[in-house]
Every structure is written in C-alpha cells, then in structure tokens.
Amino acid sequence: MSGDRPATARAAIGSTPAGAILEVAGLTRRFGGVIAVNDVSFGIVAGTVTGLIGPNGSGKSTLFRLISAEMPAHSGEVRLRGQPITRRSASEVNRLGLGRTFQLSRLYPAMTATENLVAVTRGEAKHALERAAASLDFVGLTAVADEFAANLSYGQQKLLEFARVLVNDPDVILLDEPFAGVNPVMEERMVAHIHALRDRGKTFLITDHEIRLIMALCSRLIVLDHGELLADGDPATVRADARVIDAYFGT
Ligand SMILES: Nc1ncnc2c1ncn2[C@@H]1O[C@H](COP(=O)(O)OP(=O)(O)OP(=O)(O)O)[C@@H](O)[C@H]1O
Ligand SMILES: [Mg+2]
C-alpha cells in the first residue's frame, strides 16, 4: 500500500503495511470540547516494536484505551488480525490476544506477586500457578514471588505489571510508560525482555517519554500531537523531522 511512496517520515504518515496484525483506521475520541484522538490511522506488523510518542496530553493513553476497547471511540475502527474489535468488550479483546499495561499501577498491593498474576490468568485454574511462575521467572522476579506487591521496589512493580500482561500470552502488547521512574538496571532488563519477546514474534506498541530507550527499542516511531498523527517512520528520520522537534523535543 505504501510501498512506492518516498521513505520520508511525512509521506509515510498513517501507513498500514500489508498483513498488519493491528490496524487503527480513522479513530476519533472527544472529551467535551477536547479532541483527544483525531482521525488516527496506522497499522503495525507482527514481530515489531513501534514507539508512540508525543507531548503530555497528546492522546497516547486515550489511543491505548480505544485500541484495547476500554473506552468506545466516537468514530473509526480497530482491527486485530483483520478482525474488527472496536465493538467488543475489553476482556474479549484481551482474550483475542491483545494485552496492555497501564500508566498508573493496577497491581493489587495486598496480594503477593504470584497472586497478582493468578488473579488475571485465564483458563484452567490448575495451570494458573505454573503460568504465573513462568511469567515471574521470565522477568526475573522468582525470588519475590511470595512478597506482597506493596513491598516490592518501584522497578519490581513495573516488572510485575509486565509479567501480568504476559501471563495470558498475548500476541500484541501495549505498554503505557513502562520506564517511568524505573532505574537504569531495571530499564535494561525491560529492554532485554521486550527484545526477547519480539524475537519470538510478539508485537509491541510502546509509549514513553524516555526517548533514549524508545530510540533503542523501536524500529518505527509514531508521533501524536494534539490527538493527530504528526509523523510516522523510522526513528532517526522522525527524530530529525522539524515538525516533531517543534512539537515535542522543543527548545
Ligand atoms: N477521561 C477523560 N476525561 C476528560 N478528558 C480526558 C480524559 N482522558 C483524557 N482526557 C484529555 O484528553 C487529552 C489526551 O490525554 P491522554 O491522557 O490521552 O494524553 P497522553 O498523551 O497519554 O499524556 P501523558 O504523556 O501526560 O500521559 C488531554 O487533553 C486529557 O486532558
Ligand atoms: Mg498517558
């Protein structure tokens, strides 16, 4: 579809590659007079890591809510493996293979790390403990499996949230600010986990203000500004785009 367009960030805005696992088409969401997400379209292919960046209030978290069907869009459509999911419930969308983390923690503080995972694990209860253990092992939290979530360090809590998404083995994973407040050691671990999962074919859409990490992680960057797609392309080209510098990198 976009194959013979010039490879500049601007020309590729909203491109939907053939065979995209996740497609967003004309998504719009208003809150009173504010258009939080304005006619946004793009598609991402399986086994890739895409960064979604933009100033505070540019609509990133709202776009995540629309994609994961936590909130209805006023117009537009989301498709997962070509199947429209816009009118499904958030739990149905999750069951279809789309998982996400939240900007603010949704852990249960008075439950242990294991219990936090078991509580959201689908399928047969007898396998839930095994799957929780495998997820904790993957993110390196086995040693704190029986600790209450409230007693974990902030970075460990972020890893636990990540493990909680993985427990149901989603194909598409949305991460909303996974690095916010995380120390460099935990950052490196998160980056390694994301790359390992990508190499197994998982697809990521990640928003974060840690541009250094986003640049290191992503093969494509999408930029939102005032709810609109401002740029879309390879990270180096997008980072150098004058409009992106004006809107986001400033000064
Ligand atoms: N539930 C809501 N009710 C009213 N307005 C909302 C609601 N959620 C978001 N908004 C508004 O929509 C716009 C987009 O907000 P959103 O949280 O999606 O931005 P964001 O890009 O995730 O910002 P940040 O980088 O600060 O997390 C903002 O103007 C925000 O105030
Ligand atoms: Mg946000």
**DSSP strand pairing (228-233 vs 220-225):** antiparallel
Cα Rg of the chain, angstroms? 18
Substitution candidate for ligand 1 out of 27, 28, 34 with most atoms within 8 A of CB: 34
Residue 205: phi and psi, rounded to 5, are: -125, 120
Q: Which ligand is nearest to the Cα of residue 228, counting in written order?
A: 1
How many angstroms is it from 176 CA to the middle of ligand 2? 7
User: What pLDDT sits at residue 99?
Assistant: 96
Residue nearest to atom 19 of ligand 1 (CA): 57
Amino acid identity at 26 = G
Under a CB-based contact definition with an 8 Å cutoff, are residues 205 and 174 in contact?
yes
Q: How far apart are CA 104 and CA 250, in angstroms?
A: 26
Secondary structure of residue 168 in the 3-state scheme: coil
User: What pLDDT sits at residue 104?
Assistant: 83
Under a CB-based contact definition with an 8 Å cutoff, are residues 193 and 49 in contact?
no
Q: Which ligand is nearest to the Cα of residue 36, counting in written order?
A: 1
How many angstroms is it from 192 CA to the middle of ligand 1? 29
How many angstroms is it from 19 CA to the middle of ligand 2? 28
Q: How far apart are CA 22 and CA 24, in angstroms?
A: 7
Terminal C-alpha separation, the chain? 36
User: What pLDDT sits at residue 105?
Assistant: 83
User: What pLDDT sits at residue 124?
Assistant: 82
Residue nearest to atom 30 of ligand 1 (CA): 57
User: What pLDDT sits at residue 18?
Assistant: 74
User: What pLDDT sits at residue 144?
Assistant: 98
CATH hierarchy code of domain 1-97+171-178+213-251: 3.40.50.300
User: What pLDDT sits at residue 13?
Assistant: 63
User: What pLDDT sits at residue 251?
Assistant: 52
Residues of the chain with pLDDT below 70 are 1-14, 251
The tokens describing 238, both together, are 């997008």
The ligand 1 atom nearest the CA atom of 65: 18
Residue written as token pair 């600790």: 147
